[in-house]
Structure 1
Amino acid sequence: MDNLISVFNSSLQTGYVDKSVLSNAAYQPELLINQKNPPIKVLSTILQELENCDQFFISVAFVTTEGVATLINKLKELESRGVKGKIIVSQYLNFTQPEALKRLAQFKNIELRIATKGNAHAKGYIFKNKEHYNLIVGSSNLTASALSTNKEWNIKVSALNESGLIEQVLKEFESDFDKGKPVTEKYISFYEEIYQLQFLVKKAHNLQSLIDPDIVITPNSMQLQALENLEELRADKKNKALIISATGTGKTYLSAFDAKAFNPKKMLFVVHRLTIANDALNTFRKVFGQKKTMGLYSGNKREIDCEFVFATIQTISKSKHLNKFSRDHFDYIIIDETHRSGADSYLQFIDHFEPQFLLGMTATPERTDGNDIFKLFDHNIAYEIRLNRAMEEGMLSSFHYYGVSDLCINDDVIDDKSDFNLLTSNERVDRIIEQAEFYGSDNGITRGLIFCSRKKEAIQLAHLFNLKGYKSVALTGDSSEEERAQSIERLESENLLEKLDYIFTVDIFNEGIDIPKINQIVMLRPTNSAIIFIQQLGRGLRKVDGKGYLTVIDFIGNHENNYLIPIALYGDTSYNKDSLRKLITEGSRMLPGTSTINFDEITKERIFQSIDSANMQLLRDLKKDYNLLKFKLGRIPMMMGFIQHGSRDPYLYVEYSRSHYNFIVKVEKDHNLELSKQQVELLELFSKEINNSKRVEESLILEALTLNNKLNIPEFKKKISDLFNYTPTDATIESCITNINFLFIRKEKRIISKKGDTLKFHPEFLETLSNTIFRDFLLDSINYSITTFKNSFKEEYYKDGLILYKKYSRKDVCRLLNWEKDISSTIYGYRTNSGATPCFVTYHKSDEIESTINYNDYFINPSTFAWESRSNRKLESNEIKEVINSNRILLFVKKKDGEGKDFYFMGDVNIVPDSIEQSVMTNSKSPVVHFKFKLKQPVISSIYDYITSD
């Protein structure tokens, strides 16, 4: 207790007296807000507090179903751990949603009450820990927007159990709670009637205000920008353009607005389904009114004389139909779902016509068959908005994704090879229904779409769901257009007696279908493609009046490609393993808007295992993304192209081929990029040893000299200070020179020389640099390194050459500590050199590890680390004395060997006074010296939880 009081005093000093006082950030008073960039959410702190507490108390005025959806996974976990809570909400203004009360009432560990009298308007979250409480008091109700997007102010403070503040807060809470009415099924039914009556009155009022025969539909912000870009392309004499826009962002309306601006005499809109053609015609009618005649050209319909024709590709692409039209019959042609246009039918159609302008639209231009869609539109991308950006702009419905572990029957876990009987067993059906009911939907009336892995599975599961009382149908490629249309109509029906609960399907609804009212998607198939995952998710993201949010339940088995899940959800297509791990550990914070991503512990570990085992450098995958970017740009992509277009991390190409240049030469049969053997070697060395984004000073030196062949060191230091707010030491500058000349790795090259305060290139390297191909590839490598460093740099995380929670190899650390030579091969756990001791720890050791190196290293808490020396070491040994007398001790940790060779930098540490003691190893009984390290900055919760979890 005395130690905790001391920690509290220091934290209070920092928070209330002097911000420069070093103290434990966990106990400092803090203002909690929501912020877009960098992403900050009140929700993240509340989830963290729930994770760590022994008991919780929540008092809020309003609670919504979506608010509960953001916490439901954590509440479920607390229930399983026996952590109890009390929640009181208010009936004030009848804003609290009855469905939210139902969700909270299902937890056996939560006492739920509602204040039915007075204008209760409190917003407080109280978390009890062993010896203290954490309080969050302010403006945030238990609603998704208050926890993630609204402008909110909340103060978080910590207080000991016996403090006056805690006594006051708990007394006030218990007083309100005692006066509250227990939330029972009977009360919810009573309140639901009041809420629905109020809801219907509001709905009627809103409908009345919308009845306006003269209403004019206008473009949204995305459409305005796209329309402006299209006009600029046409002004530049371009006659083709491609729009890349996430499902639900209004592509069809955009095309109608552009058609209105273009004002064609004859227009053709081409789709692949009659239902979509009808929908498009109706959209154009809303924009144009009766100013244009419109008709269909599909099947038996031949409304050829209309000014605007909406056709299906299956009909119009046939020669007998194409020949009815002259090549210039249509001034303006629009192709929807353009990613299909690599098919023969589309190519035949495109070759026939010569419109004044051709517009392509797609949510996913990427194709797996190697066809270049971008070439068909002369690489003119008028506008691009992907899922995450569309969510950030509020153009799509929010979603709450729950990754749940798939069923295990008789030790058989669902995986890529599971047989049909396991996929359709009664146990699995019960598991699916259990999870679907638990996570529910926005309003409790589920309109669900379930994606299966095979046709037979979809048909059987639909049958079994019907037997369980859930009205369901299976739709496959064999289902007629009429069957599909009828099923969709029933799913969206407001007549609850005839409404379908679920449609089971495999992949016919991946794209090109509009079912706005879908509020639950269940994924029963492995994720084998991030593109298909996004297409299926997109089925439920279209906004529609009355829809709150989309529930997504993903049953995750032991599938090899589980690593694709974070790639799809977060839109991170870098295929950088560390980036994917960090996204998973950060959870919902990195997701725009009120949407959340939730995994149970089993599924989270399955994804981590998949990331560890995945080979991100398979040649076929590297070539696929390389070619896709090449198609998009219309030229050979350099490293910076991958960065600028959010594609695969280009350093993966360096790791595969030793340089980006080498990869291009490997895959481009007809290239004119010849370099000498010496130039090729230099590009490899610069790519691997200098421009790997670990130390920006080296890349900036190279950039300055490449552009000017002269660098003044004092001016350079000022430039670094202006860019990053730190000044490199003379030792760092000398180390940079050593490394650029490749002395550090014992492969000396004459690259730069120093005279006084001036750096210059050696004359012989200047001659090499005169080759424009070499120079272009070197500058590209330099720019990649600088850009990547800037993207990962956080001033508050920068610690004398290293960045907290960034990953480094032993070799990187030797270099960044300004050691003259790379001695990483001789670092077995730790090494003291030049007064610095980096310690490298594999947190979870392999079961097969030898007893003599099975060290007992572990976190005691986020601020304290228990560490052991190498075996057969005693207090009096010189090695131990060097550690004790080090000027700097640095801690590097990786979770397990499967992560690779790199370690997270956890920070600088001090040896806890009186913690050093002689000990013996648990199994081998070899002598070791035991230390306790105090981290100068506590490890952030996301990294700490990831490292320490089993």
Structure 2
Amino acid sequence: MQLRPYQEAAKEAIQAEWEKGNKKTLLVLPTGTGKTIVFSKVAEDCVRNGERVLILAHRGELLDQAADKLGQASGLVCATEKAEETSLGSWFRVVVGSVQTLMREKRLNQFPPDYFNSIIVDEAHHCISDSYQRVLNHFSSSKVLGVTATPDRGDMKNLGQYFESLAYEYTLPKAIKDGFLSPIKAQTIPLKLDLTGVGQQAGDFKMSDIGTVLDPYLHQIADEMQKYCMDRKTVIFLPLVKTSQKFRDILASKGFSAAEVNGNSHDRAEVLADFDAGKYNVLCNSMLLTEGWDCPSVDCVVVLRPTKIRSLYSQMVGRGTRLYPDKDHLLLLDFLWHTEKHELCHPAHLICENEEIAKKMTENIEESGCPVDIEEAELQATEDVVASREEALAKKLQEMKSRKRKLVDPLQFEMSIQSEDLSSYTPAFGWEMGPPSQKQIKTLEKMGIFPDEIESAGKAAMLLDRLDKRRWDGLTTPKQIRFLEGRGFKHVGTWQFESTKSLIDRIAANGWKIPRDINPAEYKGE
């Protein structure tokens, strides 16, 4: 099987991390971009080197999917460690294992701690749980690859407690731009559902409470869906089985061909096959289809299970992002959940790493009143936020004029070079979260950055990398930025070093006054 360019790059990056000594590394790929194919190829390489590999997952469907894809991608056959099935005594070098089975002490102790050379954790956002940790700690000498579709570094803070590095990340916008996933349009539905009384459980909203809140609105939601989804193939995520079944019946009364599946459905495989074949155009489920189920023809997703967990939200939306003939976009319906205390996931959180931009993007989509392409919406929200930040920065620079320091404030530098990744940076891994080292502080000062407001070693490292790259690219230095922007010039960070130096030399020759033929507010550097 021929890998796509990003899949090949991901495989090479994983091997590079292991070779560098980072034994626990992460791969982040959006749902639908072939993460199973990538880790199958990684497993193939490991077997070629004489290693034993364990592929660990928490559901039977994921184990079956991994085994199938492994066979397709590499021709390898694997043994299974699940319930009464055991891999012990098998000569196959790859084992797919159920975490629920392997976590049991009696089962785990049948394996020597060095039995597996490499472990691949599918849906790695689960791996912080006790059950996974019990298995991973038993095989403590193994190399570990975690694979997840988690869309942002905020969620990855938790994963950073265990993993040492991020080997490779392929983002949802990049996958859409490269033509490997469907574009997404978000539509805000003007129904206000109040979540203020909903309790918390395991870091998210309590399912039973959401069901109670949602129940009175189901008929209204179905009416809204008639406006947007009658001719679409739609998957709906609901909090409870009884709510899912009730909503199926309401939709059927409104003219939809609706079906429902849950963990106890005896005819689940048949219903899913019928939905795939077009017998039904709406499928209701209570969180059953978040992982391991593919139906590329789905072109509408309705999330009626509000969540604060981005990985979960991403999994739900990911059921509709795959490409399919004549499918030009995925429609994502977003509801006006009202909550005073907790930030909810919205379509913006699929692509925004910065919470400020995500909030503005959500507001803009709501105000538009029609389906909006999420990439276009993010660009607009970014422009809005940058304009707001520039206004705040202008005030800050005015205040700084009285502080005659020679170094550049990090915020000014980030805004000047128009670097959103620096502005929205959040440390994820252990080493990133510590304070900057003395060496980092001295180097930043030497290069012209005021280091006191840089809180983490990860941010300091990112700044230093950017400064180094800018020097090689012949772009302006922090000191040039501070000097000219302090005199009213705009976005000096995007200019070339040499032309900027010539401008400063000209100002110096003019007694450090701006020449009359130059208007700083309108001046465009090279």
Report the TM-score, using the length of structure 2 for normalisation. Answer: 0.65
Distance 1:485 1:303, change over 3 A: farther
Please give the per-residue CA displacement for 1:439-496, whole angstroms capped at 9, x wherever unaligned. Answer: x33xxxx2x21123555432321122233443434445xx23755444433321x2x4
Match of 2:130 in 1: 344
The answer (yes or no) to whether the contact 1:342–1:371 under 8 Å persists in 2 is no
Match of 1:219 in 2: 3
Distance 1:230 1:664, change over 3 A: closer
Report the CA distance between 1:659 and its aligned residue.
6.7
* Larger Rg computed on CA atoms: 1
Alignment of 1:395-414 (within 5 A): 395-406=180-191, 413-414=192-193
Please give the per-residue CA displacement for 1:254-284, whole angstroms capped at 9, x wherever unaligned. Answer: 1111222222443211111111111110111
The answer (yes or no) to whether the contact 2:31–2:318 under 8 Å persists in 1 is yes
Match of 1:388 in 2: 173
Give the residue type in structure 1 aligned to 2:318.
G
Alignment of 1:114-153 (within 5 A): none
Give the residue type in structure 1 aligned to 2:303.
M
SS, match of residue 539 in structure 1: helix
What is the aligned counterpart of 1:261 among 27, 45, 49? 45
Report the CA distance between 1:244 and its aligned residue.
1.2
Match of 2:521 in 1: 801
| Aligned residues with identical type, % of pairs | 21
What is the aligned counterpart of 1:244 among 28, 32, 38? 28
The answer (yes or no) to whether the contact 1:526–1:562 under 8 Å persists in 2 is no
Give the residue type in structure 2 aligned to 1:449.
V
The answer (yes or no) to whether the contact 1:588–1:596 under 8 Å persists in 2 is no
The answer (yes or no) to whether the contact 1:570–1:583 under 8 Å persists in 2 is no
Distance 1:545 1:721, change over 3 A: closer
Match of 2:223 in 1: 430
Alignment of 1:493-892 (within 5 A): 494=277, 496=278, 499-526=279-306, 528-544=308-324, 548-556=328-336, 558=338, 565=346, 567-576=348-357, 580=361, 629-631=427-429, 634-636=432-434, 660=453, 700-701=479-480, 722=496, 800-801=520-521
Match of 1:335 in 2: 121
Structure 1 unaligned runs (5+)? Answer: 1-216, 407-412, 612-624, 639-653, 666-695, 705-712, 735-753, 759-797, 805-950
Alignment of 1:261-300 (within 5 A): 261-262=45-46, 263=48, 264-289=50-75, 292-300=76-84
Report the CA distance between 1:219 and its aligned residue.
0.8
C-alpha distance in 2, partners of 1:454/1:799?
63
Give the residue type in structure 1 aligned to 2:193.
I
Distance 1:424 1:702, change over 3 A: closer
Report the CA distance between 1:314 and its aligned residue.
0.7
Distance 1:313 1:515, change over 3 A: farther
C-alpha distance in 1, partners of 2:501/2:424?
38
Alignment of 1:896-907 (within 5 A): none
SS, match of residue 167 in structure 2: strand
Match of 1:844 in 2: none
Is the strand fraction higher in 1 or 2?
A: 1
Distance 1:591 1:259, change over 3 A: same
Structure 2 unaligned runs (5+)? Answer: 198-211, 389-422, 437-449, 458-474
Match of 1:910 in 2: none
SS, match of residue 430 in structure 1: helix
Please give the per-residue CA displacement for 1:58-109, whole angstroms capped at 9, x wherever unaligned. Answer: xxxxxxxxxxxxxxxxxxxxxxxxxxxxxxxxxxxxxxxxxxxxxxxxxxxx
SS, match of residue 277 in structure 1: helix
Report the CA distance between 1:316 and its aligned residue.
1.3
The answer (yes or no) to whether the contact 1:401–1:596 under 8 Å persists in 2 is no
C-alpha distance in 2, partners of 1:702/1:316?
57
SS, match of residue 324 in structure 1: coil
Report the CA distance between 1:568 and its aligned residue.
1.5
Alignment of 1:49-68 (within 5 A): none
The answer (yes or no) to whether the contact 2:102–2:135 under 8 Å persists in 1 is yes
SS, match of residue 160 in structure 2: helix
Distance 1:543 1:302, change over 3 A: farther
Distance 1:243 1:632, change over 3 A: farther
Moved more, 367-376 or 308-317: 367-376
C-alpha distance in 2, partners of 1:337/1:389?
21
C-alpha distance in 2, partners of 1:575/1:456?
37
Match of 1:416 in 2: 195
C-alpha distance in 2, partners of 1:510/1:273?
11
C-alpha distance in 2, partners of 1:552/1:507?
17
C-alpha distance in 2, partners of 1:226/1:577?
27
SS, match of residue 248 in structure 1: coil
C-alpha distance in 2, partners of 1:490/1:803?
63
**RMSD of the alignment, in Å?**
4.9
C-alpha distance in 1, partners of 2:519/2:347?
30
Give the residue type in structure 2 aligned to 1:631.
F
Give the residue type in structure 1 aligned to 2:229.
A
The answer (yes or no) to whether the contact 1:567–1:575 under 8 Å persists in 2 is no
Distance 1:322 1:530, change over 3 A: closer
Report the CA distance between 1:395 and its aligned residue.
1.9
Give the residue type in structure 1 aligned to 2:227.
E
Give the residue type in structure 1 aligned to 2:334.
D
C-alpha distance in 2, partners of 1:434/1:719?
48
Give the residue type in structure 2 aligned to 1:339.
H
C-alpha distance in 2, partners of 1:568/1:267?
34
Report the CA distance between 1:238 and its aligned residue.
4.2
Distance 1:488 1:228, change over 3 A: same
Give the residue type in structure 2 aligned to 1:384.
E
C-alpha distance in 2, partners of 1:570/1:240?
26
Match of 1:320 in 2: 106
Paired residues, number: 423
The answer (yes or no) to whether the contact 1:245–1:386 under 8 Å persists in 2 is yes
Report the CA distance between 1:537 and its aligned residue.
1.2
C-alpha distance in 2, partners of 1:421/1:249?
33
Report the TM-score, using the length of structure 1 for normalisation. Answer: 0.38
